[in-house]
Amino acid sequence: MNPHSIIWNRDLVEEWLQTATQVDRALPPVKPGMQTNKMTFYRTWVEMLWDELDPDNHPQPVFHPTNAQVSMWEEVVLRWLPMVDSTTDRKILWWRSAFISWVKIGKLLDIERHTVANRYNRALDELVSVLNSLRYKNAKKNT
């Protein structure tokens, strides 16, 4: 499945984001190898998002992702989320896709739950429009 040929809508983007959060929970944690124990190891910002939710409760794998689901995760984490300008909006998109309540997200970010919902909807709409514009550019380039 080529993500550049899909006509994106809110439901489809939400589905991909939810799949990405589920896959991220199922992926093994990144650890330094036996011979790299003296090197500094940096964690990704997605791993740190889980710690912001609850540092003592690490998410447990719920399912074993397929290759297609891991590809969806790569697309979302490596391409889509960097397109969102605000770090706060990235957090809101990621946490809400992980089925975290509006109230808990609002408390974590110290903003009102209505504001969280509005920012989520705005960020999702902007992401859909950017993805569709990229699709249009790729279609125009191929003709």
pLDDT digits (tens, 9 = 90+) for 92-136: 999 999 999 999 999 999 999 999 999 999 999 999 999 998 876
Question: Which has more pLDDT, 64 or 52?
Answer: 64
Average pLDDT, the chain: 82
Residue with tokens 């896709």: 97
Q: Is the pLDDT of residue 62 over 80?
A: no
Handedness of CA 116, 122, 124, 126 (dihedral sign): negative
The model carries a pTM of 0.76
Question: Which has more pLDDT, 143 or 75?
Answer: 75
Rounded to an integer, what distance in angstroms lies between the CA atom of residue 46 and that of residue 115? 22
- Greatest C-alpha distance within the chain: 53
Q: What is the pLDDT of residue 65?
A: 87
